[in-house]
Amino acid sequence: MIKDTTRLQKKLKSYSLMAGSMLAVSSVTEAQILHQNISDTTFVDSETGLSFDMNNDGITDFTFFLVKSGTAPSVNQFVDGFASAVDNEIAGSVGSNSYVYPLAMQAGDKIGADLEWQAYGSLFWVFGQHYSSGGGTPVQLGNWLGQQDKYAGLRIEVDEEKYYGWLRMSVDSFANEFTIKEYALQSIPDSAILAGDTDFISGVPNAILENRIKIVAFEKNVFITGPVGIQNGMEISVINMVGGVVKRLHTKEQQLHLQLTDLPDGIYLIAVEAEGIRMARKISIK
């Protein structure tokens, strides 16, 4: 799909302003990550979506949106995206049809220079496409169809320096709707960020509640509480700041006391998945 960004951005302007009123910058002292937590915003109409500013400089960096044509059963639906500057890029691969297909990354995945980065050219980025002619097997393309709470890896350039970030969203199985939830940017140039990392550092007892998962960290003890009525248990990963998984475990209990006395002092990411809910939080242990 060839770009027509001028007309599209005019139509999306109200969504950008609306989103801006809902943004809340993380207030962590000396935070290295700019975190924008958005009230879950779902888009279902053609040519609706969100334009967002990763580094709060008043300049739009990326736009993600829907495009729909036709009427059922013959439809062609896309969840697309583009960058507002040639130096802004997304982590993904280029298909044989020349489309860029962004990666759908897991919480805790490392986002840095070692990924394959794609600039915005003459074609929109395709998160997902669903095409049906009314008969036969539909054509479905992209890495995001049916993905819930996954992360897009993003990179912007400011004053010839690269900054890495992520955006968390969900896309339905037919590119009929998508939901944007939050995004973040590492404020240190040329430094990687882990998907889901918001730079929350726990040095004293504290609790964070997000999507019904709680994490409390104190010294080298981590207390994790899963969703109420948990049935399938929790998958828990402890990830160091270079992206290595240093611990991985499964528990069928709703609550877990995780002792990290065998790990060196430092900063780690705790990634938890339970009942289809995912959460990642940074902690400091010593």
Fold of 208-285: Immunoglobulin-like (2.60.40)
Q: What is the structure's pLDDT at 206?
A: 35
Token representation of residue 79: 């969840």
From residue 106, give the alpha-carbon distance in Å to each of 66, 254, 275: 23, 22, 15
For residue 7, what is the DSSP state?
H
Q: What is the structure's pLDDT at 231?
A: 83
Say if CB 123 and CB 129 are below 8 A apart: no
Domain coordinates in residue numbering, the chain: 5-194, 208-285
**CA separation for the pair 283, 265 (Å, rounded):** 11
Beta pairing class for 139-141 and 110-111: unpaired
- Concatenating the DSSP letter of every residue in 105-117 gives BPTT-EESTTS-E
Per-block mean pLDDT, blocks of 10 residues, the chain (286 long): 54 43 34 77 90 85 92 89 92 94 93 95 92 88 96 94 94 96 88 82 36 74 83 90 87 90 90 82 81
For tokens 């910058």, what's the residue? 25
Q: What is the structure's pLDDT at 3?
A: 52
Token representation of residue 43: 């888009």
Tell me which residue of 102, 84, 119 sits closest to 12, measured CA to CA: 84
Tell me which residue of 58, 78, 37 sits closest to 196, measured CA to CA: 37
Q: What is the structure's pLDDT at 277?
A: 78
Q: What is the structure's pLDDT at 220?
A: 87
Token representation of residue 234: 């929790």
Residue 191, number of CB atoms within 10 A of its CB: 15
**3-class SS of residue 5:** helix
**CA separation for the pair 267, 252 (Å, rounded):** 26
- pTM (2 decimals)? 0.66
